[in-house]
Amino acid sequence: MACELLSARLISPYFGNSLYVWAATIGTTMIGLAGGYFFAGYFSEKSLSKKALMIALAAISTFVFVLPYFSSFIQTMFLDFEIRVGIFISTLIFNFPLYVLFGLFSPLIIDIITEAKENTGEFAGRIYGISTLSGVVFIFLAGYYFLPETGTKLSLFFCASLLSIATVLFYVVDYRHEK
């Protein structure tokens, strides 16, 4: 959720902070998440959950880190389009891939945790609950602290850093578990 708020902030210098911007941001986020949920089902069926999750974490942290640098390039390409079309296409290009990757998280984590397929519903509820609560915490941290205090670029770097740390921790825990 924090990345969604931050990506809308990246759009505002070019297209404003209108209802169109928020509709495109939320819409492309939902489309991307849906795509990620579908892809996660494919990866889990192929027994690729751990590898896919690790790659997704690394890709997300990299993507969020470079987002401030290439979002302006993308948005300037669509400034001459009709405003709703320009906003939608530019957010689709730099939001959609990010949220497809985010959409992989919960289903893949559920697949990894429930390898025995016992208590799947219980684990799924916990994972989605934790995911939603962490989204709420980070949206408030981004909106009430990081954005006003550090700006958009540093806030994105903070998110990318947390995601990088999560990638390393997941790798270390998985490596130790495999030994």
Least confident of 55-59, 81-85, 109-113: 109-113
Model confidence pLDDT, tens digit, residues 118-171: 677 777 787 778 878 888 888 788 888 888 888 888 877 887 788 778 777 777
Q: Identify the band that residue 27 occupies on the pLDDT scale cut at 50, 70 and 90.
A: very high
Give dist(CA 89, CA 81) in Å, integer.
10
Give dist(CA 102, CA 100) in Å, integer.
5
Residues 6+ apart with CB under 8 A from 157: 65
CATH tag, 2-178: 1.20.1250.20
Give dist(CA 141, CA 78) in Å, integer.
31
Which residue, 37, 3, 28, is CA-closest to 106? 37
Q: Are 11 and 91 in contact (CB under 8 A)?
A: yes
Model confidence pLDDT, tens digit, residues 85-104: 999 999 998 888 888 988 88
Domain ranges within the chain, ordered by starting residue? 2-178
Give dist(CA 166, CA 43) in Å, integer.
20
Q: Are 97 and 32 in contact (CB under 8 A)?
A: yes
Give dist(CA 24, CA 87) in Å, integer.
7
